[in-house]
């Protein structure tokens, strides 16, 4: 069984997708198969997944812009969730009343798809919302602590290890989020350091999804487990297939019209006169034929037709016929044809297709 995520990470307003069939698929926690989507996670066999993907229908709104389709698949592992926004996996480990330090140590022993785990670090609202809505767990340890330096909350492991995100106590006491993330999601009146012993962070606090709380080391008999995060390693994921397809909502540019045809060759000059002495010059060559029309621009879907091609050059003027010999004159000089006329103008640009 595979875990698959299909998403449009940067959709123009109104751009969504759905499948015509979901046969054999199971939505991941927090997802469903009703209505239009910009992100959908589900599990199923490869055959059922491919059959569903073949029925995908895309709806576009009136806002133009480029966007991508991302499809990520990997073997399904129990209690594991994929976030397409930050390309991270999360794994809930149930362990009633585990201490924060033990959770920190155990997270570092976990591996998934070629990555080593760490106790989750939450640095953006979108990441917090993913854990809030799409991870099936409450009262879980996260990698935040101010142990050893009261009021200086930092992430203690992972890529953000040692980075401060909060200074002080509750907002009412003057506490505030710090750079570089300027983000925290404490529950109301938290972190309060109750009993002067709460130095470790948890989330989905007492059923309030997305809310953080500070707790003592043993979790005060509230902790159900911890959340491990996996980010893509330098060498890339192992056993994960990811594809990205670029798309566009709006008018595409039409193709360029074909080149105009060559102009026709000029006609022969008139014969030189039969006059004693030097013969007169032959007449001018005829005007070159009109250049062929440029080909129509290729019609794009809702696009503007391309510019018509340029007409070909006019052909060379024909060579004048030799003058006839006068009764007492020398042979007539050969008339020289004049340059043919200019080629005709390129054809009209093609008309863009209807939106």
Are 218 and 281 members of one domain?
no
Whether 276 has a pLDDT exceeding 70, the answer reads no
Are 277 and 208 members of one domain?
no
What number is the average pLDDT over the span 54-74? Answer: 92
- Residue 248: the pLDDT is 86
Q: Is residue 307 part of a domain?
A: yes
- Give the separation between CA 132 and CA 139, rounded to whole angstroms: 11
Are 330 and 343 members of one domain?
yes
Are 175 and 217 members of one domain?
yes
Between 282 and 186, name the one with better pLDDT.
186
- Give the separation between CA 114 and CA 122, rounded to whole angstroms: 21
Q: Is residue 110 part of a domain?
A: yes
Query: In this prediction, what percent of the chain has a pLDDT beyond 90?
Result: 65
Q: Which of 197, 231, 265 is the last residue of a domain?
A: 231
Are 138 and 208 members of one domain?
yes
Q: Is residue 203 part of a domain?
A: yes
Are 155 and 198 members of one domain?
yes
Residue 19 CA neighbour count, 13 Å, CB half: 21
Are 224 and 266 members of one domain?
no
79-98 per-position pLDDT tens digit: 999 999 999 999 999 999 99
Residue 142 CA neighbour count, 13 Å, CB half: 30
CATH of the domain at 163: 3.10.100.10
Q: Is residue 297 part of a domain?
A: yes
332-351 per-position pLDDT tens digit: 333 333 343 444 444 443 34
Helices and strands: H and E segment counts in the chain: 3, 19
Non-local (6+) Cβ contacts of 40 within 8 A are: 5, 6, 7, 17, 27, 31, 33
What does 13-73 look like in DSSP terms, one character per residue?
A: TT-EEEES--TT-EEPTT--SSS-BSEEEEEE-HHHHHHHHTTEEEE--S--EEEEEEEEE
Residue 261 CA neighbour count, 13 Å, CB half: 8
Q: How many CB atoms lie within 10 A of CB 164?
A: 17
Q: Is residue 82 part of a domain?
A: no
Are 354 and 311 members of one domain?
yes
CB 297 within 8 A of CB 305: yes
Are 137 and 193 members of one domain?
yes
Are 100 and 219 members of one domain?
yes
Number of structural domains in the chain? 3
* Rg of the chain over all Cα atoms, to the nearest angstrom: 38
Domain that holds residue 279: 254-355
- Give the separation between CA 224 and CA 218, rounded to whole angstroms: 11
The mean pLDDT of the chain is 81
- Residue 251: the pLDDT is 59
Q: Which of 176, 196, 231 is the last residue of a domain?
A: 231
Are 4 and 94 members of one domain?
no
Q: Is residue 245 part of a domain?
A: yes
Least confident segment among 53-62, 113-122, 223-232, 276-285: 276-285
Give the sign of the dihedral formed by CA 169, CA 174, CA 176, CA 179: negative
Are 127 and 192 members of one domain?
yes
What number is the average pLDDT over the span 39-57? Answer: 97
pLDDT band at residue 120, thresholds of 50, 70 and 90? very high
What number is the average pLDDT over the span 152-177? Answer: 98
């Amino acid at each position: 069984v595979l875990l698959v995520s299909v998403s449009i990470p940067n959709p123009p307003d109104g751009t969504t997708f759905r499948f015509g069939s979901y046969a054999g698929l199971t939505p991941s926690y927090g997802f469903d198969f009703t209505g239009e989507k910009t992100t959908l996670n589900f599990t199923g066999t490869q055959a059922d997944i491919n059959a569903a993907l073949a029925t995908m229908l895309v709806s576009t709104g009136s806002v133009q812009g480029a966007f991508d389709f991302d499809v990520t698949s990997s073997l399904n592992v129990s209690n594991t969730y994929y976030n397409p926004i930050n390309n991270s996996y999360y794994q809930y480990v149930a362990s009633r009343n585990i201490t924060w330090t033990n959770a920190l140590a155990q997270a570092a022993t976990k591996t998934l798809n070629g990555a080593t785990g760490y106790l989750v670090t939450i640095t953006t609202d979108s990441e917090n919302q993913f854990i809030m809505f799409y991870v099936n767990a409450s009262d879980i340890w996260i990698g935040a602590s101010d142990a050893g330096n009261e009021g200086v909350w930092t992430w203690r492991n992972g890529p953000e290890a040692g980075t401060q995100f909060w200074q002080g106590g509750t907002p009412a006491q003057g506490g505030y989020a710090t750079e570089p993330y300027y983000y925290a999601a404490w529950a109301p009146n938290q972190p309060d350091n109750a009993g002067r012993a709460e130095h470790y962070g948890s989330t989905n606090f007492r059923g309030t999804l997305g809310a953080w709380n500070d707790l003592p080391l043993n979790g005060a008999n509230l902790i159900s487990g911890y959340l491990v995060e996996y980010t893509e390693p330098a060498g890339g994921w192992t056993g994960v297939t990811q594809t990205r397809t670029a798309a566009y909502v709006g008018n595409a540019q039409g193709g360029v019209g074909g080149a105009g045809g060559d102009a026709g060759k000029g006609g022969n000059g008139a014969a030189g006169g039969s006059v004693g002495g030097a013969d007169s010059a032959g007449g001018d060559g005829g005007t070159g034929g009109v250049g062929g029309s440029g080909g129509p621009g290729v019609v794009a879907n809702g696009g503007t037709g391309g510019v018509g091609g340029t007409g070909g050059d006019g052909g060379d003027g024909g060579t004048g016929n030799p003058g006839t010999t006068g009764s007492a004159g020398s042979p007539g000089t050969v008339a020289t044809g004049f340059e043919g006329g200019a080629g005709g103008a390129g054809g009209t640009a093609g008309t863009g297709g209807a939106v």
